[in-house]
Amino acid sequence: MSALVSPEQLLSDLGDTPPLLLDVRWTLAGRDRAAYLAGHLPGAVFCDLDADLAAPPGAGGRHPLPSRDELAGAMERLGVRPGRRVVVYDGGVAAAAARAWWCLRWLGHEDVRVLDGGLPAWVAAGGQLEAGGTTTAGDQPAREVTTTAGDGAAQAAAPSSSMPTVTAEDLLPYDGVLLDARAAERFRGEVEPVDPVAGHVPGARSLPTSRLLDADGRYLSPAELRDLLAAAGTDTGRPLAAYCGSGVTAAQLVLAAHEAGLDAALYPGSWSHWITDPARPVATGTD
């Protein structure tokens, strides 16, 4: 099943049993709750990427994965329940929504899709917005929803083998194709606006996530994504893995691979974790 849902499909799907909508708007400066309060899809609940989809920054990188229990608890508070459909969206860049999709799939929640094109595509398709906070079941504030132990996502889901991960040790060296999702100039080590060391993991190949989207901010077709990934060397039958700066945008490469019919592992700590050990090699320049 596709990991994407078009705004047109979602508009027709908001009937008596609509999916749970998670607004995951986020920038490198942090969560974008102000934008959520200014206008979001009707009924959407705000999901804080930094607090809900990541553990505190530290030795594991800037956005290390939370523990399974921590992630499940956060998803329960937001209204995720076994069997409930979930649609995640962001401001159109697609990275934060892909991270939410990956995390829910990793947790074992299969029925989750990304709104293709995010909020801008929703508005362009004629979708309405509502302002202010919203509520979940029980009419409690979205960020204050409580659950009864044993009735939510944590009890129903186990980490999914369909969402594999790799570690730094797996990449020394990696017997597969490793894709770097960052901008090409960061990959080459010409600039590094976020992390203290510039460059890339030796052997990695550059595939910026900007190339996954069309001019309207929607994902390319599965055939186009297959061609793009093949050009990056993924047609060799070898394992495929992806990383970025901190494990957020790399989820877009995993999603793109999924749409293209490929399985890709995620390096959760990504570059921000790789450089915590000065003994790990750093490469610069082209592939």
Q: Where are the domains of the chain?
A: 4-156, 169-274
Are 267 and 242 in contact, with CB atoms under 8 Å apart?
yes
Residues annotated as catalytic are 244
**Predicted local distance difference test score (pLDDT) of residue 133:** 82
Residue 244 sits at the vertex; the CA angle it makes with 105 and 49, to the nearest 5 degrees, is: 50
**Predicted local distance difference test score (pLDDT) of residue 60:** 96
Place of tokens 């976020």: 194
CA distance 175 to 178: 9
CA distance 136 to 18: 12
CA distance 271 to 199: 9
CA distance 241 to 57: 22
CA distance 78 to 88: 12
The domains spanning 4-156 and 169-274 adopt the same CATH topology: yes
CA distance 46 to 19: 14
Q: Spell out the CATH class of 4-156.
A: alpha beta
**Predicted local distance difference test score (pLDDT) of residue 225:** 98
Domain at 169-274: CATH code: 3.40.250.10
Q: What is the DSSP string of 260-282?
A: TT---EE-SSHHHHHTTSTTS--
Q: What is the DSSP string of 48-87?
A: -HHHHSSPPSBTTBSSPPPPHHHHHHHHHHHT--TT--EE
**Predicted local distance difference test score (pLDDT) of residue 160:** 58
Name the stretches of the chain with pLDDT < 50. 135-151, 154-157
Quick one: 46 exposed, middle or buried, by C-beta within 10 A (0-12, 13-18, 19+)? buried
- Residues in Cβ contact with 115 at an 8 Å cutoff, skipping those fewer than 6 apart: 4, 5, 7, 10, 87, 88, 89, 97, 121, 122
**Predicted local distance difference test score (pLDDT) of residue 271:** 98
Are 116 and 6 in contact, with CB atoms under 8 Å apart?
yes
